[in-house]
Amino acid sequence: MRGPHNIIRLVRTLATLERTGAIGVVLDAFRAPPRIRFAAHALGWPFKWLGLKGDPALPPATRALTALGPAYIKFGQVLSTRPDVVGDELALQLKYLQDKLPPFPTEVAKALIEQELELPVDQMFSEFSDPVAAASIAQVHHARLAGTGQEVAVKVLRPNITRAFRKDIDAFYFAARAVELLAPFARRLRPMDVITHFDGVVQGELDLRLESAAMAEFAANTTKDEGLQVPKPVWHLSSRQVMTLDWAEGVNMADNAALDAAGHDRTVLAARVLQMFLKHALRDGYFHADMHQGNLKVAANGDIIVYDFGIMGRLDDYTRRVYAEILMGFIRKDYRRVAEVHFEAGYVPPDRDIDEFARALRVVGEPIFGMDASQISMSRLLAYLFEVTERFGMQTRTELILLQRTMVVVEGVARSLDPHINIWQVARPVVEGYITRNVGPRALLRDLGRTAQALARFAPRLPGLIEAQLQKQNALPEKPPSFGRERLVWALGGAGLLALGVWVGTLL
């Protein structure tokens, strides 16, 4: 499916932006230089007649993205959280993409539910409303369970959504391959790997059974977190295309006027949403990776309600420590340490100058340290960061894509609630707490304990492994006779390490 026919889809994308008038809006929002503007119009205008018309009642950018399909809508949702990057007007237009897209008919949703769950809708639900929210992947209905009367939300995938996404992804693969072939300087950005990563994320989002599992895991991790509510899935009424979960009543976090009218402190909410993300990423290594305002509500008691767990991020222990040390280095203005961590983790090629990299990082940190969000130009900062990655040959790290994307989104949400938020001041207690627990002597002892546990699982197999190695060595006369003894010495050393690890484990 990734053949040249995708050229037509990419041409239609540009033609749609031209036909709807969105191309000028987008170029203005990103302050595109004259040569880029000329090239975009020159490529789009001749094929304008191929562009999709979209809904004329919508603003240009929203009209174009909704016409192009779900993958483009996802991109628009991310931009909707960054008015500091794309401008207030465009960000406001794109908020429509979060949960106000045109729904499909209720009768179609009911038919799909009955097909998936193999029961009549009236037998499962005593009440079933028309759609209350509609996004790129699915729409949501308010319902009550038959018998108990429990209020629930019923999420139903859009018909043929898998096929629609597949077409978009195929076109993206084609574009990524073309970029790698025609623009060698862009290969460090690993466009094919990025699209492969995006493809995997989307496939997970299109199976609501996986979202139910993600919601349950996230709820288990955060059960003791104050100020946070997570709905629970109703497992027997959930499947691949249908998910039933607790109903969550609250004010949409995108509606500042409604939040103020309800008496909520937006300054507190802004700090909480940022700290909540950092805590989940660092403490649990498992975080909600689609935290735009359309997926967040505020309950009457001020708790933040999180839902839509289709996209989740996961970090291993090592990556979490690297991430925390980088953040802590910026908070402490220790740019040399930030540079060292980048080199130690392999994010920067070893042949580059670490002192020069530290100096480049100082240019990032100094202008924003101690500043509130209203004094920071995120668009200029992102442009400079891109220059730094290019100058120092930093490749895209696919394992960090979701983390970096979510950081941008969450910081944008926090800014929308409190334009004067100081992100470093808010982040400091969470990062310092993680550093205290996970970097230093206590962390070393805990790691030794875990190593001991891992070695203990293999202890019964050690004699057999040693004997097998010795027998294998005896069958190879060309090797020196001391080889077997060296193996034995290493084995005895391993046994000593095991004993030390078990002893350390008893102290923890």
| Residues forming the active site | 290
C-alpha to C-alpha distance for 251 and 296, rounded to whole angstroms: 9
Say if CB 280 and CB 222 are below 8 A apart: yes
Q: What is the 3-state secondary structure (H, E, C) of 74-124?
A: HHHHHHCCCHHHHCHHHHHHHCHHHHECCCCCHHHHHHHHHHHHCCCHHHH
C-alpha to C-alpha distance for 369 and 424, rounded to whole angstroms: 7
**Distant-in-sequence contacts of 382-386, Cβ < 8 A, 24+ apart:** 382/85
**Distant-in-sequence contacts of 114-119, Cβ < 8 A, 24+ apart:** 116/239, 116/240, 116/241, 116/242, 117/237, 117/239, 117/242
Say if CB 139 and CB 109 are below 8 A apart: yes
Angle CA 202–82–330, to nearest 5: 95
Rounded to the nearest 5 percent, the helix, strand and coil shares of the chain are 65, 10, 25
Q: Say how far residue 113 (Cα) sits from the centre of its chain.
A: 29
DSSP 281: I
Beta bridge mates, 140: 133, 155
Say if CB 117 and CB 124 are below 8 A apart: yes
Structure tokens, 98: 């979060």
Structure tokens, 115: 């097909």
A 10 A CB-CB count for 313 gives 22
How does 374-396 read in b/e, with b if 16+ C-beta sit within 10 Å?
eebebbebeeeeeeebeebebeb
Residue with tokens 């193999």: 118
- Spatial CB neighbours of 329, under 8 Å, sequence gap ≥ 6: 335, 337, 338, 341
Indicate if the alpha-carbon torsion angle 489, 492, 497, 498 is positive or negative.
positive
Q: Tell how many helices (H) and how many strands (E) occur in the chain.
A: 24, 10
Whole-angstrom Cα Rg for the chain: 27
Structure tokens, 483: 């080889």
- Spatial CB neighbours of 256, under 8 Å, sequence gap ≥ 6: 266, 416, 417
